[in-house]
Amino acid sequence: MEYYNYLKSLHLIFVITWFAGLFYIVRLFVYQIEAADKPSPEKEILQKQYKIMTYRLWYIITWPSAVLASIFAFSLLYLNPSLIQLDYMQVKFGFVFALYLYHGKCQQIYNHLQNDEIKYSSNFMRLWNEGATIILFAVVFLIIVKDAVNWIYGVIGIFLFSILIMLGFKFYKRIRQRNQS
């Protein structure tokens, strides 16, 4: 158990870098999609550069961080299996599963964009970028509060936060359209 706090620290560090990668990769998706609308040669130059940037971010930072965060999490559970029985941890596992699904969908989007297949708009990607934010808020509040009743309030708060994000997105979209006119 003397190594437990070191493992916990490493788990947290790689969770942070994993989220950083997820936040930034979707932002790069936005830029990559918008580059497709640029005139030549700007379009080709930007697309080539964004492909390199997304490749490096995805395979040098994001994927390794996800794997290492998971390895350290499983190590913590191995050393302290009683965590699995806690209500808040079971809810956290649900959010972590949602994060893996989000990561998997980002992988799919990444693959499409690397093959010059644009299946989503840049506005969709801006909204998609908030998915990781919502999961992050949920997990942090859940881990800090650790109370089965209070996490219900936290989930309600997350939904309200999501509504605020969507309203902010619509507001931003209107401003952006007005400035482009």
DSSP, collapsed to helix, strand or coil, labels residue 136 as: helix
* Angle separating helix axes 122-145 and 4-35, nearest 10 degrees: 160
Spacing of C-alpha 162 from chain mean position: 14
H runs (alpha helix) in 36-147: 42-56, 63-79, 87-114, 122-145
Q: How many CA atoms lie within 13 A of 72 on its CB side?
A: 19
| Region for residue 39 given its phi and psi (left: phi exceeds 0; alpha: psi -120 to 50; beta: otherwise) | beta
Binding residues, by number, are 11, 92
Binding residues for heme, by number, are 11, 92
Report the alpha-carbon distance of residue 108 to residue 112 in Å, rounded: 6
Two tokens, residue 133: 């934010």
